[in-house]
Amino acid sequence: MKYAKVSNDVIVGVTLNPQECFHPTIALKYSTEVPDDAEPGDKWDGETLTKREVPTPLESYKKLSPIQFKLCFTPSERIAIAALKETDLVVADAYSILDDPRLTEVDLGLKSNRDLIDYLVTLNAITPERATQIKSGIML
C-alpha cells in the first residue's frame, strides 16, 4: 500500500513510507492510504481510484482540411450545425474561422477544436459517441 498527499480528492504526491522519506511535519501530509497503482494526478475519494487522463501527444492527432473536417459530420449533423450558426455565437464564431479561405488545416489535437466538438454535444447537435469519432477524424 502507498501513502499519498491528497488535495480536493486529487493525489499530489505518493510514497511508500512517508516517515522515512520526509521530515515528520511533511510526513503527516502523506497520511492517506491509496492503492499501489495510485499516481500523482489521479483522483481518490477514499474508495475509488480514478486514473488521470493521459493526453495524447499533439503530433498523433489528425490534421484535416476544413472540408474534410466538415465531412466528419453526417448530413443531418451539418444541417443542425448550420441552424445553430444562426443562433449560437460560439458556433457562429467557430464556423467563421472554418469558412475562412486562409484556413488550410484543422488540427484535431488543438484544445479549441476539441472543445468545439464537445460544445456541439451540449447543444445536442451530435452525440458523445459521434464526438469521439469526429475527434478521431473519421469521415463518413
pLDDT in tens, 71-118: 999 999 999 999 999 999 999 999 999 999 999 999 999 999 999 999
> What is the reported pLDDT for 61?
86
Whether residue 56 is predicted with pLDDT greater than 80 in this model: the reply is: no
Instruction: Name the residue type at position 56.
Output: T
What's the one-letter identity of residue 105?
A: E
Domain locations in the chain as residue ranges = 2-45, 58-135
Report d(CA 61, CA 76) in Å as an integer.
25
Torsion of CA 54, 55, 56, 62, to 10 degrees: 150
Instruction: Determine the pLDDT at residue 121.
Output: 97
Alpha-carbon torsion (70, 73, 76, 77), positive or negative: negative
State pTM to two decimals: 0.60
Task: Tell the burial category of 14 from Cβ atoms under 10 Å away from its Cβ (0-12, 13-18, 19+).
Answer: buried
pLDDT at 84: 97
Q: Average of pLDDT values for 121-130? A: 96
Q: With contact defined as beta carbons under 8 Å apart, do 27 and 19 qualify? A: yes
Give the pLDDT score at 58.
Answer: 58
Q: Is the pLDDT of residue 55 over 70?
A: no
What is the rounded CA–CA span in Å between residue 20 and residue 17?
A: 6
